[in-house]
């Protein structure tokens, strides 16, 4: 229960920073969401070949967003593992990624990037509303000046990933869930 309250406070505070009109760094907020999402996802067998392997966050987005994620992840861990950011250039694959963030600037590549190129389940996070087409598992969306997120549970579970019910409760929209 305490964890759910803490999670709600973190996501609400981040979303409110945009809503309140403060000069919040939107890239930093998005990077914070991406990191927090990974904390509430379970990979089968933790999806890492060796105990010491880091959780790899691949970023197909503007350089400023990748920079913000690198700063957020400094000295942070996901499921007791270190983290690392890898920038994905057009045409690259992401076979070593546990998390793939596709920014709005790279949205046209989403279908190619979300094809089964990875050797293990990859959490895909995008910018933009779930539109019934090829979408990421979690989508960051702006509602006016608020930053929210939508989750496609069916796609997450089909890939072998499990999402915490605490995260589902905070989503503005859940698709394909119970």
Question: Does 155 have pLDDT greater than 80?
Answer: yes
pLDDT, tens digit (0-9, with 9 covering 90-100), for 123-136? 989 887 655 555 68
Mean pLDDT check: name the lowest of 26-30, 63-67, 108-112.
108-112
Q: How many CA atoms lie within 13 A of 57 on its CB side?
A: 32
Mean pLDDT within 104-126: 70
**CATH fourth-level superfamily of 2-175:** Response regulator (3.40.50.2300)
The rounded percent of the chain whose pLDDT value lies above 70 is 70
Q: Contacts for 74-78 with beta carbons within 8 Å, 24 or more apart?
A: 76/35, 78/35, 78/38, 78/39
Average model confidence (pLDDT) across the chain = 78
pLDDT, tens digit (0-9, with 9 covering 90-100), for 14-55? 554 444 434 337 889 999 999 999 999 988 875 555 567 889
Look up the pTM and report it.
0.81
164 alpha carbon, distance to own chain's centre: 13
Question: Does 169 have pLDDT greater than 90?
Answer: yes
The span from the CA of 104 to the CA of 45, in Å, is 31
Between these two residues, 86 and 121, which has the higher pLDDT value?
86
Ranges of each domain in the chain: 2-175
Mean pLDDT within 104-130: 70
């Amino acid at each position: 229960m305490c964890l759910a309250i803490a999670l709600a406070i973190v996501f609400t505070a981040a979303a409110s920073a945009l809503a309140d009109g403060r000069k919040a760094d939107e890239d930093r907020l998005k990077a914070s969401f991406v990191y927090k999402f990974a904390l509430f996802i379970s990979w089968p067998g933790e999806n890492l070949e060796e105990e010491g392997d880091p959780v790899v966050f691949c970023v197909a987005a503007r350089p400023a967003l990748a920079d913000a994620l690198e700063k957020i992840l400094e000295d942070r861990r996901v499921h007791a593992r270190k983290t690392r950011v890898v920038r994905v250039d057009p045409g690259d694959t992401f076979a070593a990624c546990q998390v793939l963030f596709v920014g709005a600037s790279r949205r046209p590549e989403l279908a190619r990037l979300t094809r089964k190129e990875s050797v293990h389940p990859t959490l895909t996070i995008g910018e933009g509303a779930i539109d019934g087409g090829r979408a990421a598992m979690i989508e960051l969306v702006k509602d006016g000046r608020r930053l929210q997120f939508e989750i496609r549970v069916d796609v997450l579970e089909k890939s072998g990933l499990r999402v915490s019910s605490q995260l589902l409760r905070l989503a503005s929209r859940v698709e394909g869930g119970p």
